Structure 1
Amino acid sequence: MAPNSSAAARPRAELDLADSLGHELVRFIRLINKAKSQVSKQGPDGIERAAYAILFTLIHEGPQRTSRLADSLHAEISTISRQSSSLVQHGLVERQADPEDGRACLLAPTAEGLRVFEENRKQRNQWLAEVLEDWSEEDRQNLNRLFGRLNTGIEKHSPQLADAQAPTAAPAKGATA
């Protein structure tokens, strides 16, 4: 988050509102992290929860090399290699020959990997629906619209944070993590 040189020229009320939003965003991130930590470190199938990020990335961005996954997930190649091996052993990911370089391999989700992805997605959606169940339909729609707008604003002002594969509009059903 690079400081903007025009920040000093912003009205006090605008900065106070930004401060309040910043507080709520930090609170949100802490709550999400707590919710994630309540789920065991390993899923019922013995796979590290962190390994699912690989599966999700492969589903969204397509087959790719371990090195590209490591870059995309900001992780060490050794970590990605260990986690992807577990996913391969459990039949969620498969290795394929790289069509551009026969000496290399790509990791790709299997049909079982897609099924597990969808099951995790359904569980997440059920949880979110429960969290928002006492909100009006209008409030839920506004939250979704404003969250998308916030993410677009962050990407616009910090292009290095933008996901190259992020949809610019609402993602198609079945295409979200």
Structure 2
Amino acid sequence: MATMPESPDDADFTEAIAAVETQLGTFYRRVRTTWSESAVAVHPSLQPIGYKILSALVQHGTAHAGTLGEQLAVDKSVMSRQVRMLEEFELLTVGSDPNDGRARILTPTSFAVERVTEVRARNRHRLHAVLRDWTPEELRVFSGLLGRFGAVAEAVSPES
């Protein structure tokens, strides 16, 4: 493991990294708040992780429960609990895979598609309002930085 040199440039780098950590913490808190608000807008008892699962189903259509859980990095027991709740709230239906009776196929209900679509439209409107004054070039730079953000997100936890 490399040690941190003590030159002025390195102190500046360390300070800049600390600023990034602060902004990442703020970003994660805001994302969690948005997921919570979005979940409640779909169903008053829906948890943010349930919204995340449902949103993925609405975006991509029918999916195997296990595959979706892996894609979203959701533990099997959490996925199972959330699927039961989503089914109870009549936001998805659960069927059996004709090729593998053990596998569960999840399909969002038309009500879920309608609600998630409305929530996404509201969130998109808010994003447009915030970014309205940015130039197309600034938006492209921001988009590129967000693309690089994936590696950063893997390196830190939401609790940072």
Smaller-chain TM-score range?
Answer: 0.5 to 0.7
How is 1:43-62 mapped onto 2 (pairs within 5 angstroms)?
Answer: 43=41, 45-50=43-48, 51-58=50-57, 59-60=59-60, 62=62
TM-score, normalization: structure 1? 0.63
2:120 aligns with 121
What is the identity, as a one-letter code, of the residue corresponding to 2:2? S
Q: Give the conservation status (yes or no) of the 8 Å contact 1:41–1:49.
A: yes
Q: Distance in 2 between matches of 1:133 and 1:112?
A: 31
The question of 1:63 aligning with 2:63 is answered yes
Q: Give the conservation status (yes or no) of the 8 Å contact 2:64–2:103.
A: no
2:129 aligns with 130
1:25 to partner: Cα distance: 1.6
For each residue in 1:32-57, what CA deviation from the matched residue of structure 2 results, as whole angstroms up to 9, or x when unmatched? 444555x3863364451422112123
Q: Secondary structure at the match of 1:8?
A: coil
1:6 aligns with 2
How is 1:4-153 mapped onto 2 (pairs within 5 angstroms)?
Answer: 5-6=1-2, 8=4, 11-12=9-10, 13-36=12-35, 39=37, 42-43=40-41, 45-50=43-48, 51-58=50-57, 59-60=59-60, 62-65=62-65, 69=69, 72-75=72-75, 77=77, 79-151=78-150, 153=151
The alignment covers a number of residue pairs equal to 151
What is the identity, as a one-letter code, of the residue corresponding to 1:42? V
TM-score, normalization: structure 2? 0.68
1:148 to partner: Cα distance: 1.0
**Identical positions, percent:** 23
Q: Which runs of 4+ in 1 moved over 6 A?
A: none
1:154 aligns with 152
1:129 to partner: Cα distance: 1.3
Q: Which runs of 5+ in 2 are unaligned?
A: none
1:91 to partner: Cα distance: 4.2
Distance 1:33 1:93, change over 3 A: closer
Q: Secondary structure at the match of 1:97?
A: strand
Q: Distance in 2 between matches of 1:7 and 1:130?
A: 44
Q: Distance in 2 between matches of 1:22 and 1:6?
A: 20
1:127 to partner: Cα distance: 1.2
Q: Give the conservation status (yes or no) of the 8 Å contact 2:63–2:106.
A: yes
